A and B are shown apart, each in its own frame.
Chain A
Amino acid sequence: MEVTISLRGHLIKQFGGEQERVVEVPENTTAEEALKLIGIDWKTARNFGFVAINSHKVLMTAQLKEGDQLKAYPKISGG
Chain B
Amino acid sequence: MFGYQNKVLRIDLTRKGTIMEPLNMAWAEKYIGGKGLAIKYLYEELKPGIDPLSPENKLLLMTGPLTGTPVPCSGKLAVAAKSPATGTILDCSIGGHIALKVKYAGYDAVIFEGKLSKPGYVLIQNDKIEFKDASELWGKGSHEVEGILVEKYGHEASVLSIGPAGENLVTMSCINSDYYRQAGRGGIGAVMGSKNVKAIVVIGTGGVKVDKIVDVTNRLTEILRTDTVSEDNMFIYDCGTTAFLEACNDGGILPKNNFSDTTDEDWTKYNGDVLLASKVGKRGCGSCGLGCGNFLKIGDAVCEGPEYESIAVAGPNAGISDPESIVKANQVADDMGLDTISAGDTIIYAMEMTEKGIHDFGIRFGDKEKYIEYLKLMAKREGVGADLALGVRALAAKYGGEDFAMHVKGLEYPQYEPRGSWGMSLAYAVSDRGACHMRAYAPNEEVFAASIPPYTAEGKGEMVYNLAIYNAVKFSMVICDFWPLSLERMTEIMTMITGKDWTEAEMNAVAERVINIARAFNQREGFNRKDDTMPKRLANEALKSGAAAGQKIPQEAFEDMLDQYYAVLGWSKEGMVPDTILCQL
Contact = CB atoms under 8 A, between A and B. Distances in A.
Interface of A: 8-10, 42, 46-50, 52, 55-58, 60, 71, 73-79
B71 to A, nearest CB: 18
Interface in B447-504: 447-450, 481-482, 484
Contacts of B449: 49-50, 75
Given A55-B263, A79-B438, A9 B448 contact: no
Interface stretch (B83-91, B240-248, B357-365, B384-392): B240-248
A60 B241 CA distance: 26
B231 interface: yes
B246 A8 contact: yes
A50 B437 contact: no
Given A10-B234, A47-B232, A56 B244 contact: no
Give me the 7 closest cross-chain CB pairs, A-B, nearest first: A52-B250, A57-B547, A77-B484, A56-B547, A10-B231, A79-B441, A57-B251
14 contacts: A8-B246, A9-B243, A50-B251, A50-B448, A52-B250, A56-B250, A57-B251, A74-B235, A75-B232, A76-B235, A78-B481, A79-B244, A79-B437, A79-B438
A13 to B, nearest CB: 8
B252 A73 contact: no
Contacts of B523: none
Contacts of B251: 50, 52, 57
A78 B252 contact: no
B447 A50 contact: yes
B250 A79 contact: no
B572 interface: no
Contact of A71 (B235, B250, B484): B250
Contacts of B308: 79
Contact of A76 (B243, B249, B416): B243
B447 A78 contact: no
A49 B448 contact: yes
B250 A57 contact: yes
B455 to A, nearest CB: 11
Contacts of A8: 246-247
B484 to A, nearest CB: 4
A78 B250 contact: no
Contacts of B246: 8
Given A9-B234, A47-B232, 12 more contacts: A46-B232, A49-B448, A49-B449, A49-B450, A52-B250, A56-B546, A57-B447, A57-B547, A74-B235, A75-B232, A76-B247, A77-B441
A60 B451 CA distance: 12
Most chain A C-beta atoms within 10 Å of own C-beta, residue among B231, B437, B449 = B449
A10 B237 CA distance: 13
Interface in B402-423: 416
Contacts of A76: 235, 243-244, 247, 448
B236 interface: yes
Contacts of A42: 450
A42 B449 CA distance: 11
